[in-house]
Structure 1
Amino acid sequence: MSNNNSSSSNVVAAQKIVKQLRLEAKIRRIHVSQAATDLKNFCLQNAHKDPLLMGVPSSDNPFRPPTSCRLL
């Protein structure tokens, strides 16, 4: 009886694997060289918006050191 349970669980596991492999086989893939070119173009097009490359104006920087208050 346990041999029958074991073989049926093996069949179920194999069916799950086949289903997953079929899903993965349907995924559209592109060449790494094309993905790298697309990524490079995206980075170049958006470089002007990147605060790590362009810096953050001190008036907009929430992490600037606090200024001391003076009473006149």
Structure 2
Amino acid sequence: MSNNSANNSLVLLHKSVKQLRLEAGIRRMKVSQAASDLKTFCLQNASKDPLLMGVPSNDNPFRPPKSCALF
């Protein structure tokens, strides 16, 4: 292995170690707690969700166009 190749490998290893240390320092929460928080958020905001409550027809930009006739 050439000296340049060894240096490149060493640089990549240092970057990997730096990234792993960064990820190890991230604060984590349990999946059960995250799921509980998500469920609570969804239930609290269900009344504002247009997918659950529907969109008022006058605010719906995708409503079918009304036909008009010119006389």
Over aligned residues, Cα RMSD in angstroms? Answer: 1.4
Q: Distance in 2 between matches of 1:71 and 1:14?
A: 74
What amino acid sits opposite 1:64 in the alignment?
A: R
Tell me, what secondary structure is at the counterpart of 2:18?
helix
Spell out structure 1 runs of 4+ moving beyond 6 A: none
- How much has 1:70 moved relative to structure 2? 3.3
The total of aligned residue pairs comes to 71
Tell me, what secondary structure is at the counterpart of 2:57?
coil
Sequence identity of aligned pairs in percent? 70
Q: Distance in 2 between matches of 1:59 and 1:8?
A: 65
Q: Distance in 2 between matches of 1:36 and 1:8?
A: 45
Render the CA deviation track for 1:30-58: whole Å, top value 9, x for unaligned: 00000000100110011011001000111
TM-score, normalising length: structure 1: 0.89
Aligned counterpart, 1:37 = 36
- Long gaps (5+) in structure 1: none
- Long gaps (5+) in structure 2: none
- How much has 1:71 moved relative to structure 2? 4.4
